[in-house]
Structure 1
Amino acid sequence: MEILIKASQFILSLSLLIVLHELGHFIPAKLFKTRVEKFYLFFDYKFSLFKKKIGETVYGIGWIPLGGYVKIAGMIDESMDTEQMKLPAQPWEFRSKPAWQRLIIMLGGVIVNFVLGWLIYVFLMFAYGEKFLPNENVKDGIWAQDQLAIDLGLQTGDKILSVDGNKVEKFGQLPLEFINGNSYSIERNGEVIEKVIPVDFISKIVDRGKEAGNFIMPRYPFTIGQVSKDSPNINSGLQAKDIVVAVGETPIKYYDEAKEKLSIYKGQETTVTVNRNGKLKQIPVKISEEGTIGVGLGYLPFTDLEKLGYYNLAEKNYSFAEAIPAGTQKAWSTLTNYIKQLKKIFNPSTGAYKGLGGFISIGSIFPSEWSAESFWNITAFLSIMLGFMNLLPIPALDGGHVLFTLWEMITGKKPSDKFLEYAQVAGFILLLTLLIFANGNDIFKLFK
């Protein structure tokens, strides 16, 4: 059921983005009186799931869910209709239009993607606002409990000041900032320290897979998740959701402090004081030779931690006028972060290419339960990602056509049809190779 929910959201989001992207080409083509022969969601090699001709355009749904397309008369595109190109140019064909009109037609799709992503973020800010943990409110520093954090050179109690010289406002942004960054500064015991992020750090994250999780976390209280069945304290009175606030006579605030204090009593008995629904209760416990009491660590949402006085969250609500700059900033940061990640992927020494994913990776980012806020957040991200990817100057992508059109406008020389045919084939082979590699990575991860 979980897979079905994720897959349904993925297909819905992808279909919406493809249709609107192709509409971005369709509308200016029609405005400039250019004939559009086909408008398709997904590809229709050999046959279609559905098709209907309205006017001069066939509208349909293909059976290969790898994208979609509009077939514009007189244009060398993924249809590779070279026979049409051998005939004399007609006034309704793409090749007969002025270069500036052709440029607008080709840019229409990516413009729609960028505008759509921006609009979604604006409405999300207006509808939901933001609630987050400010980085500056993590007064006692981070919890370096993960090996990835240790590999970065972090220690429990470090206060992260900036990444690449930029102050990070939201604590939840830190993992992404470290993935995209090259250096960072921390405050440790009152001293400011500059550190370099290892070049192969992304490779380590990819190798860890889902176990990587959130490798940078704030310090958490010692909240009991469950008492193990083989725990020496199974009948001690400890309960799930108890928060340990003292070991023996020593008060503690965080789990890392409890771990240190418990180790003092290895193989002995002592007491722990727990906060249970706002009331303190002292419970005798046995400490194992490993310095544990045989319980699993539980986690509390930040809203509960705020009520307990651990962290103060920030909440921002926006009027529609305020949501416009807030949504603009969100769209811009999404685009710039994505560009940073692409740079890492194209640098083999980072190992980021191992994390390149296909349809399974994209589908997996959707939640297992329907959430309108999450769905539209992911759709906005995918829209901006799709817009940027299509703008890359690769033949077979919009960016390739834009590049050749700009060359014509600057030099006054139009590339030959034969050159465009070869470029289209080369671009298609490159994209197919990337597609196979990305989806092959997904399959490899599943087996791994």
Structure 2
Amino acid sequence: MEIFIKLSQFLLSLSLLIILHELGHFIPAKLFKTRVEKFYLFFDVKYSLLKKKIGETEYGIGWLPLGGYVKISGMIDESMDKEQMALPSQPWEFRSKPAWQRLIIMLGGVTVNFILAFIIYIGMAFYYGEQYIANSEVKDGVWITNPVIEKIGIKTGDKIVAIDGKPVQKFNEITEKILMGKEITVNRAGIEETIKLPVDFIDKLMDGGKISIVSLRLPFIVTDLTEDSPNKSTLKAKDIITSFNGRSIKYADEVIASLDTLKGQTVPAIVKRDNVEVPVNITVNDSIKLGIKYAAALPYSNIKKLGLYKISSENYSFAESIPVGIQEGKDQLIGYGKQLKMIFNPNTGAYKGVGGFAAIYNIFPNTWSWEVFWGITALLSIMLGVMNLLPIPALDGGHVMFLLYEIVSGKKPSDKFLENAQMVGFVLLITLLLFANGNDIYKAVIGK
């Protein structure tokens, strides 16, 4: 059932983005009286799952879910219809239209992608509002569980006060800002220190196998016990350790930090169970330590219920949600631009994190959440828009590049040149597709 929910969200989001992107091409083409021969969701290589011709356009669903397309008459595209291009141009064909009309048709898809993302962010701000933990509320610093983060000099208990010199206002912004940042300012025991991130920081993160950056410090809350746990008879799910080996405990990291020195010992502890403090003995086993699964993260509802951190809430009127949503869209757009810049810089190693369809599938949750669904869809819409604008022949950006050259120079590239450029672009896209999906397979095989 979980796989079905995840797959349903993935296919619904992908289908929505493809259809709207292609509509962005289809509508201006029709407005400029350009014939559209096909409008397809997914690719119909050899055959299609569904198809119906309405007027001059065949609408259908292909079997290969790698995208979608509109086939516009008289246009050199992925169909490589050389026979049509060898015939004299007709008034209804793309190649017969003025360059400015062709430019609008080609920019239509990415324009829809960006507009869609901003509309979704505005709608989410209006409908869901915003919940966050102010960074100032994290009074005892952060929890570091990733050895890579520890090696660069950030420790559990550090307060992250600024990234690249800009103060951090919301805790949930820290991870993304660190990934995109160059230096981190921490407050350690009242003393501020600036830590520079290595150029290959992301590469080190991926080689380490753990993507977590920082977490909230949480109490040691038992979520489950392993079958062979030596503490299975003494501890229960939802127990909260408040004292361990004679020492009062506030956070889980305080228990974990003391385990190496207590191997093979049974130590006294106190747990809060149903709001009652219960004394227990906890065995620290040599091989599996406690044999306890504990909460590394909690939803805001549980954090609020337990009174761990103050949850700030913002509700917006429709008028207020517009600038909030636009700002969120701008932030995501800028952030994705920075990611691309890092990917194209081999020194960062960020290219190793490039993923294909499996990576996109895996970002959807196993449970249905419209809020998460719309947030992911908006981000994917921005990604699709930016990627399509890259000046690569076979992408919208490649067509736009040649059209801008035509408008500025007054010279139209020859059909032969455009055909060759289309083939080069197609080979490049296939290479990128194989690389991205190959990364997915590699990560799955090595378990990262």
CA distance in 1, matches of 2:309, 2:157: 15
Task: Give 2:23's aligned residue.
Answer: 23
CA distance in 1, matches of 2:128, 2:91: 50
CA distance in 2, matches of 1:437, 1:135: 38
* Shift in alpha-carbon separation, 1:263–1:309, aligned structure 2, 3 A: farther
1:58 CA drift (Å): 1.6
1:166 CA drift (Å): 2.7
Are the counterparts in 1 of residues 41 and 69 from structure 2 also a CA contact under 8 Å?
A: yes
Task: Give 2:110's aligned residue.
Answer: 110
- Aligned with residue 254 of structure 1, among 247, 251, 254: 251
TM-score, normalised on structure 1? Answer: 0.92
Are the counterparts in 1 of residues 148 and 208 from structure 2 also a CA contact under 8 Å?
A: no
1:85 CA drift (Å): 2.2
- Give, as a single letter, the amino acid of the residue that structure 2 aligns with 1:215: I
Are the counterparts in 1 of residues 145 and 212 from structure 2 also a CA contact under 8 Å?
A: no
- Give, as a single letter, the amino acid of the residue that structure 1 aligns with 2:125: M
CA distance in 2, matches of 1:291, 1:13: 41
Aligned pairs (5 A) from 1:152-191: 152-191=152-191
Aligned pairs (5 A) from 1:35-434: 35-209=35-209, 212-227=210-225, 233-235=231-233, 237-247=234-244, 250-259=247-256, 271-285=268-282, 295-299=292-296, 300-434=298-432
CA distance in 2, matches of 1:45, 1:301: 44
TM-score, normalised on structure 2? Answer: 0.92
Q: SS at 2:187's partner residue?
A: strand
CA distance in 1, matches of 2:415, 2:259: 76
1:416 CA drift (Å): 1.4
**CA deviation profile, 1:299-350 (whole Å, cap 9, x unmatched):** 5444333333321111112211111111112211111111111111111122
Are the counterparts in 2 of residues 265 and 291 from structure 1 also a CA contact under 8 Å?
A: no
CA distance in 2, matches of 1:46, 1:109: 25
Give the total of aligned pairs.
445
* Shift in alpha-carbon separation, 1:37–1:201, aligned structure 2, 3 A: same
Query: Tell me, which stretches of 5 or more residues in structure 1 are unaligned?
Result: none
Which region of structure 1 is more displaced relative to structure 2, 103-112 or 90-99?
90-99
Taking only the aligned residue pairs, the percentage that are identical comes to: 58
Are the counterparts in 2 of residues 199 and 350 from structure 1 also a CA contact under 8 Å?
A: yes
CA distance in 1, matches of 2:173, 2:20: 30
**CA deviation profile, 1:15-36 (whole Å, cap 9, x unmatched):** 1111111111111111111111
* Shift in alpha-carbon separation, 1:26–1:156, aligned structure 2, 3 A: same
* Shift in alpha-carbon separation, 1:386–1:49, aligned structure 2, 3 A: same
**CA deviation profile, 1:240-298 (whole Å, cap 9, x unmatched):** 22222223554331123334567777776653232223333333556668996654433
- Give, as a single letter, the amino acid of the residue that structure 2 aligns with 1:272: A
Q: SS at 2:89's partner residue?
A: coil
- Give, as a single letter, the amino acid of the residue that structure 1 aligns with 2:214: I
1:425 CA drift (Å): 0.8
CA distance in 2, matches of 1:169, 1:218: 15
Q: RMSD of aligned C-alpha atoms? A: 2.4
CA distance in 1, matches of 2:428, 2:10: 25
* Shift in alpha-carbon separation, 1:57–1:243, aligned structure 2, 3 A: same
Query: Tell me, which stretches of 5 or more residues in structure 2 are unaligned?
Result: none
**CA deviation profile, 1:86-112 (whole Å, cap 9, x unmatched):** 222222221221111111111110000
Are the counterparts in 2 of residues 266 and 291 from structure 1 also a CA contact under 8 Å?
A: no
**CA deviation profile, 1:105-140 (whole Å, cap 9, x unmatched):** 111100001111111111112111121222221111
Are the counterparts in 2 of residues 221 and 253 from structure 1 also a CA contact under 8 Å?
A: yes
* Shift in alpha-carbon separation, 1:16–1:309, aligned structure 2, 3 A: closer
Q: SS at 2:29's partner residue?
A: helix
Residues 1:440 and 2:438 are matched in the alignment: yes
Which region of structure 1 is more displaced relative to structure 2, 48-57 or 167-176?
167-176
- Give, as a single letter, the amino acid of the residue that structure 2 aligns with 1:390: N
CA distance in 2, matches of 1:217, 1:361: 23
CA distance in 1, matches of 2:135, 2:306: 18
Q: SS at 2:7's partner residue?
A: helix
Are the counterparts in 2 of residues 263 and 291 from structure 1 also a CA contact under 8 Å?
A: no
1:358 CA drift (Å): 0.9
1:202 CA drift (Å): 1.4
- Give, as a single letter, the amino acid of the residue that structure 1 aligns with 2:295: G
Q: SS at 1:241's partner residue?
A: coil
* Shift in alpha-carbon separation, 1:415–1:285, aligned structure 2, 3 A: closer
Which region of structure 1 is more displaced relative to structure 2, 333-342 or 307-316?
307-316
* Shift in alpha-carbon separation, 1:440–1:227, aligned structure 2, 3 A: closer
- Give, as a single letter, the amino acid of the residue that structure 1 aligns with 2:238: K
Which region of structure 1 is more displaced relative to structure 2, 286-295 or 379-388?
286-295
